[in-house]
Amino acid sequence: MADTCLLIHPEELDTQWLDQLEALRVGALGLHPVGGRRANETLAAMLERFETPAYRALLEDAARRGIEVTCEMHALRYLLPEEALTAHPDWQRVDAQGRRAPDLNLCPSRGEALDCLSDRAAALYARLPGRPRRVAMWLDDGKDAFCHCEKCRNISPSDQQMMILSAMLKGIRRVRPDARLAYLAYFETLPAPTRHDLKEGLYLEFAPYQRDLTRPLWDAACEANRRETAHLSALLDFFGREDATALDYWFDNSLLSGYKKPPKRLTPHADVVRSDKAFYRRLGFQRVESFACYLGADYRALYGPPDLSSFREDG
């Protein structure tokens, strides 16, 4: 039952959501704080929520129902806030224009920056409910988000991500030695990395953000989907199938709503969902997930409960 998962914003979790997950036989819930430039603030707000009795009761209710709770979040800016990068300008990445900038991620060729990241990742992980074995602490969300300094310019974004994740995992494993951390493959990190020496403990999380949701992902006649899946075999060869996770957008009503409330009405393409899930299983993915944000109480008040039936294994 634990091999499907839906990701929602932490503030959207309520008893009705747990009822829906149970009815869909979804075994896991991913808490996903809002990303973007304020991802550090939404992550901090989630951690505060974990300390309140009402929220703890919801998490306990999930556990009673056999629903595993995980966290999937853009964590880099929280782990290395702008103040830390301003205090250590040499930790900042060099952007495509050749300027050092505290805007996104960091320079992965700076050992002290990676050591700091390692410690802070351990502290963050220790605060997550249940300290889940698999955790997704993604880097900053952006299309050109990596370092172009003299040392990094010949290191691909995928390998830069490997260097950063490897440092984070080192810290996390001081808290839980068998923890595994997601390598998020999307935008620039879709091509497979080459750093085999760093892959122990990292698992593939494939997120075809720029896909066409109206066409099956494997549809070779669909240019967007062909592009999104072009590196998939190489990624699976590199990371293997253990914990391999497909994170799709079938029910991502925040995407459909242009990341602006009020939410729009979600009309999932049920045939595409079923066909894509079978495609992922054929490739050997062990877990299939979808974002399902903007489908909380405000959505239900406007449109009634969302139709997620195609996500059921027998749906």
Shortest Cβ 149–Zn ion spacing (Å)? 3
β-pair type (180-185, 134-138): parallel
For residue 270, count CB atoms less than 10 angstroms from its CB and return exposed for 0-12, middle for 13-18, buried for 19 or more: middle
Q: What is the DSSP string of 108-159?
A: TT-HHHHHHHHHHHHHHHHTSTT--SEEEEE----SS-S--STTTTTS-HHH
Shortest Cβ 126–Zn ion spacing (Å)? 29
Shortest Cβ 14–Zn ion spacing (Å)? 43
Shortest Cβ 150–Zn ion spacing (Å)? 8
Shortest Cβ 166–Zn ion spacing (Å)? 15
Alpha carbon distance 285, 266 (integer Å): 26
Query: Do 29 and 12 touch, CB atoms closer than 8 A?
Result: no
Residue 152: alpha-carbon gap to chain centroid: 24
Q: Which residues form the interface with Zn ion (CB under 5 A)?
A: 107, 109, 147, 149, 152
User: Please, which residue, 156 or 275, has the CB nearer to Zn ion?
Assistant: 156
User: Please, which residue, 152 or 190, has the CB nearer to Zn ion?
Assistant: 152
User: Please, which residue, 151 or 261, has the CB nearer to Zn ion?
Assistant: 151
User: Please, which residue, 79 or 122, has the CB nearer to Zn ion?
Assistant: 79
β-pair type (28-31, 4-8): parallel
Shortest Cβ 77–Zn ion spacing (Å)? 17
Q: Cβ–Cβ contacts within 10 Å for residue 197, how many?
A: 8
User: Please, which residue, 7 or 152, has the CB nearer to Zn ion?
Assistant: 152
Alpha carbon distance 203, 241 (integer Å): 8
User: Please, which residue, 67 or 155, has the CB nearer to Zn ion?
Assistant: 155
Residue in 82, 200, 180 with CA at minimum distance from that of residue 131: 180
